[in-house]
Amino acid sequence: MLSRVADSLYWMARNIERAETNARVLSVQLIHMLEVSEQHVSNRDWEEIIEISASLSDYYSGHDGIEREEVIHYLTQDRQNFNSISNCMIYARENAKATRDMIPDGLWEVLNQYYLEHTGESRFSSYQQAQHALQLTMQTSTTAQGIVESSMTRGVPYAFLKIGKWLERAEKTARILNVLCEKTLKEKQAANVSNYYYWLTALQQVNGYNAYIKEYPPTMKPEHVLSFIIDNRGFPRSIRYCIDHVMEAIHHLEDGKISHYSQQLFHTLATVQEEFTAAHIDDMSTEELMAFLDRFQNRCQEMSRLFSETYYLIDPVKIK
Amino acid sequence: MNNYKVASYFDEMLQDENKPKPHYQRFHRLMEQYTEDELREKHETAQMNFLRQGITFTVYHEAVGTERTMPFDFIPIIIPTDKWAQIEKGMKQRVSALNAFLDDMYHDQEIIKDGLIPRELVETNPNYYHSQVGGLDIPLNNHIFLAGIDLIRDEQGEYRVLEDNLRNPSGMSYVFQNRYVMRQVYPELFFQHSIETLEHQLSMLHQSLLSHVPPNAIEPLAPTAVLLTPGMFNSAYYDHVFLAQQMGIELVEGRDLYVRDDKVFMKTIRGLRRVDIIYKRIDDDFMDPEAFWPDSELGVPGLLRAYQKGNVSILNGIGNGIADDKAMYAYVPDMIRYYLNEEPLIKNVPTYFLSDKAQRDEVLEKLDQLVVKNVGASGGYDLLIGPQASPEEREQFRHKIMENPAKYIAQPTIKLSRAPAFQGDDFYPCHVDLRVFVMGGKDSHVLPGGLSRVALKEGSLVVNSSQGGGGKDTWVLTEGEINHA
């Protein structure tokens, strides 16, 4: 497969995944806003959402303060924000366009339809409208993944799509937890009630509440939530699950052999797996956990770079 | 079809207002059975189909590209068996002569020595690449792997060639997609007709492509072919995607290719992989910055050298532009007589050369009756349609012609044939033409039917998709079909 095409596939998957998670994070926040009357949603809550889904410093370089409608626009439709949902979906479609001869027609059509119907909209005029658009984004992403799973041959293009998705997911999950840790640290003295709410939010953001409740009914202990989201080998959004599957996909790609050119990539992946096995998430203090997550996010960047180098990936499709 | 007027034009479908031609009888009957609502609904479904599938072309206006679909019209152009046989033969004849001409031009130039074609017409042509490919022997001596010949019909219904496209003829994907959408949305129309299928055409195209094995291929029996596209911002990108996908070959951009030791490789995730055959859809002068336009970012440095050494085949041939411009067009009937010793089966449209003083004077006299074309332009640009132009526009062209007479040709305005179109409200007559695709390789083959283009703006003569033209499905009836009608 052409390196350029492989790169586009990889980034298409990342962009779809990013759009979906960003949509879910905002959707959870909008529901939360309804539940706790508006005055109690602080600016800091919004800053955290921005930090998870984009970059807070980028946001402040163009805005003076936090204003609800403005933040929603920034995260969903603003073309100035590289990570806005619209941008992610537009990039995903461009990547799909560059790889149309490799992917199922249905996958292209789903992304094209989203583009035609939802990326040119004017600002949302109501809460319902915004919520509806977010649901639609998540639906588009799951439909796209369904098409990939049900119709793509388990070959090289499939592997690149999956690796992109898992790396994106692992990194994002780490980011969500990092923001959350920072928050609990700042509010050490706060009552357990609000902590309960934080952990619930984290589970919702990674779409894991229902799965968690089945495994740990009906408690919400931080150590349980953390080990579930970080280390659970069966939960498809846990960091552990994602890394295991990246490893598996690359093994498959290489027919189980480690060659000279892929040596470093395998080595780094194995190191990350070992770090997870050695770490005792349950016993870590918040500070230790944050350091652990920080290190992991750096590892993600390293894996992404090594992956690109190993397969000669070149610049993703330039957006004009 | 109550308000429909046949007028003084040749109508593809109707004898007169009430009576369809024999080969349209059955279709006409089926069409009459639709209610107005059905027609409208089906029309909308068909247009949506194209948009959803992203079957679009890109129109550039002030450097901003907009993706557009080509409007589709459901009334097909139906061609009876015998008529098609005649077109098919004529197209093979024409392309065969054009190929002989190209081979002659890049070798001994006999036709010039024999005084049939003026030397300066060839040598002043900007697409004449003698220093690059003169004297080269290419696989099968075939310069034309895929040609698109544009045909029109005059007042008498006689087919005539309007234009040859021997470089990057686009639109083949639309032939297939028009048929696909037509079958999806109007399946009932097919039940009572027996028409030539398109199903095996792309595998024939693939076979043709693979028959151009370069002399130094490592595995001559299993060559690796790719389609070279300028990229997704090109207006015909969908065409490129479709052809690559259907032929099962890689769709590559210039930056995916690399020339080392005069051999061409593509950059894959497993390193470099040798390429034997390139079907290029970029212009010659963008192909290799070392040999042509030095600023090209789309090209591949060193590609021409690899070609010259016989390490790679490039299709269509480099330098085909000398045979398909609007000035050389007028000489094609002579080429047919010269190389094949045959009379042209499908005629040209009469053409005036404006570098000739007598002809020029005659043309300037009656600009309001003629069509004037820039010999190097395409897509309906730099074109004067005399009868429809304003006096200012005609004056502007008069100056352009005086300034650079060799740059233009003139032709009588032919009353292009018309066919009914339905675009959501009513049936109305629109001018049509037909692009016929001819594949060359070991054997020559004509795609049955082709792309019927229609000028959907009422009264317009321009069928180009970039200027508001649309498409129609083209049906070639199979033998005996007409008798059941």
Residue closest to B322 by CA, chosen among B107, B93, B123: B123
Q: Is residue B400 helix, strand or coil?
A: helix
Contacts of B54 in chain A (CB under 8 A): 97, 100, 108-109, 112
Give tens-digit pLDDT for A231-249. 999 999 999 999 999 999 9
Cα–Cα distance for residue pair A152/A146, rounded to 1 Å: 10
Give tens-digit pLDDT for B398-449. 999 999 888 888 999 888 899 999 988 889 999 999 999 999 998 999 999 9
Contacts of B267 in chain A (CB under 8 A): 2-4, 312, 314
ipTM value for the complex: 0.83
pLDDT reading at B58 higher than 90: no
Cα–Cα distance for residue pair B373/A315, rounded to 1 Å: 42
pLDDT at B194: 92
pLDDT at B375: 80
Strand partners, B278: B226, B314
Between 3.30.1490.270, 1.10.10.10, 3.40.140.10, 3.40.50.1360, what CATH number should domain B350-413 receive? Answer: 3.30.1490.270
Q: What is the phi/psi pair of residue B353, to 5°?
A: -95, 125
CB A73 within 8 A of CB A125: no
Cα–Cα distance for residue pair B129/B284, rounded to 1 Å: 9
Q: Do B54 and A108 touch (CB under 8 A)?
A: yes
Contacts of B58 in chain A (CB under 8 A): none
Please report which confidence band the pLDDT of residue A39 belongs to, taking 50, 70 and 90 as the band edges: low
Structure tokens at B11: 């109508």
User: Best residue in B52, B239, B269 to probe A by mutation, most A CBs within 10 Å?
Assistant: B269
Q: Looking at CA atoms only, how far is residue A253 from chain B in angstroms? A: 11
Longest dimension (CA), chain A: 59
Contacts of B252 in chain A (CB under 8 A): 2
pLDDT reading at B4 higher than 90: no
Q: How far apart are the first and last CA of chain B?
A: 21
DSSP secondary structure letter of residue B457: S
Q: Do A116 and B51 touch (CB under 8 A)?
A: yes
CB A77 within 8 A of CB A121: yes
Q: Does B184 touch chain A (CB under 8 A)?
A: no
Q: What is the phi/psi pair of residue B436, to 5°?
A: -100, 135
Cα–Cα distance for residue pair A200/A173, rounded to 1 Å: 14
Q: Which residue of B has its CA nearest to A94?
A: B232
Dihedral angle of Cα A234, A239, A242, A244, to the nearest 10 degrees: -80
Residues 6+ apart with CB under 8 A from B386: B366, B367, B368, B369, B370, B371, B372, B394, B413
* pTM, full prediction: 0.88
pLDDT reading at A317 higher than 60: no
Q: Does A143 touch chain B (CB under 8 A)?
A: no
DSSP secondary structure letter of residue B1: -
More confident: B7 or A306: A306
Question: Residues 73..102 of A with a Cβ closer than 8 Å to B: which?
Answer: 94, 97-98, 100-101
pLDDT at A319: 35
What type of residue is B22? P
Structure tokens at B92: 């093979």
Burial bucket for residue B458 (CB in 10 Å: 0-12, 13-18, 19+): exposed
Cα–Cα distance for residue pair A248/A219, rounded to 1 Å: 33
Give tens-digit pLDDT for B125-138. 999 999 999 999 99
Structure tokens at A196: 């309960």
Give tens-digit pLDDT for B232-270. 888 889 999 999 999 999 999 999 999 999 999 999 999
Contacts of A108 in chain B (CB under 8 A): 53-54
